[in-house]
Amino acid sequence: MSETGRESFISGEKLYEGRVLNLRVDKVGLPSGRTSVREVIEHKDAVGVLAVLNDSLLLVRQFRYAVGEETIEICAGLIENGESPAAAAAREMREELGFKPGSMTEIGKLYSSPGFCTELLTVFLAKNLTKAPLPQDDDENVKTVTLPIDELPALLSGKKTSIGTGVIKDGKTFAALSWFLAFNK
């Protein structure tokens, strides 16, 4: 692989500071000697959990305002200050799925959209679940969706399943389900 060269920070301005993200615009120096502008979303790190219950995967269905539609996703959420990724994953499972993991394995880390966003997601596989619900966040309306594991190949190939056809549009979910299909035979 060839070296592409690093871009260097010249100056920047924070345009927005919010609860979940900040927006900044940076002027950068390019390896060619020219300059360019980079718009950067500073986003809190997050977790995602692919939960296995018996012969099924537990997913969540929720309306996502930004895209104007309901999505089906793995359980996910932000890491709170002072919280480890594993603790955040266990908390999110209890809030969104009503279960806590008996065992949890980190399966990878991924950037949600590295062209403009700093968010790093740590994705876990959770097994040996037991009921242990916590209240959902006030601004969430999440419903649990149960996907039989034997329907996963059809779902990822765009065929009809019990939860629909072509319903997985979320990147972290597609990655986690593809990983599961490849490595959990």
Domain shared by 26 and 111, yes or no: no
Measured CA to CA, the distance from residue 156 to residue 165 in angstroms comes to 9
Measured CA to CA, the distance from residue 181 to residue 159 in angstroms comes to 15
Range 16-23, long-range pairs (CB < 8 A, 24+ positions): 20/44, 20/78
Q: What is the pLDDT along the chain (185 residues), one digit of tens a residue?
A: 446 789 999 999 999 999 999 999 999 999 999 999 999 999 999 999 999 999 999 999 999 999 999 999 999 999 999 999 999 999 999 999 999 999 999 999 999 999 999 999 999 999 999 999 888 877 878 999 999 999 998 888 878 878 876 788 899 999 999 999 999 86
- pTM of the predicted protein model: 0.91
Measured CA to CA, the distance from residue 95 to residue 47 in angstroms comes to 13
Q: What pLDDT does 2 receive?
A: 43
**CA angle, corner 138, sides to 40 and 122, nearest 5?**
45
Instruction: Tell me the three-class secondary structure of 65-90, residue by residue.
Output: CCCCEEEEECEEEECCCCCCHHHHHH
Domain shared by 21 and 79, yes or no: no
DSSP 116-161: TB--EEEEEEEES-EE---PPPTT---EEEEEEGGGHHHHHTT--B
Domain shared by 150 and 119, yes or no: yes
Domain shared by 103 and 136, yes or no: yes
The residue written with tokens 């996963």 in the block is 152
Domain with 57, as residue range(s), is: 46-183
Domain shared by 64 and 120, yes or no: yes
